[in-house]
Amino acid sequence: MAAARDLGLEDRLTVLTAKPLPSGWSGKVWAQSQGIGAIDTLGLPA
């Protein structure tokens, strides 16, 4: 966020809060899944 703010590009970021990590999932794969879900939910361009 700080780097984007310094460059005046904050409007190009969407910060997400992920749901808790389910049992059996690894953190990176869960984060990717949450990001993909947000693209669909928020109507963001992929």
* Residue 25 pLDDT > 80: yes
Read off the pTM: 0.65
- Which pLDDT value is given to residue 3? 92
* Contact call for residues 14 and 41 (beta carbons, < 8 A): no
Please give the radius of gyration of the chain, using alpha carbons only, rounded to the nearest integer.
13
Tokens of 16: 């997400």
**Secondary structure (3-state) at 33:** helix
- Which pLDDT value is given to residue 29? 95
Q: Which residues contact 22 (CB under 8 A, 6 or more apart)?
A: 30
pLDDT category, 45, cuts 50, 70, 90? Answer: confident
- Which pLDDT value is given to residue 5? 92
User: Which has the higher per-residue pLDDT, 23 or 41?
Assistant: 23
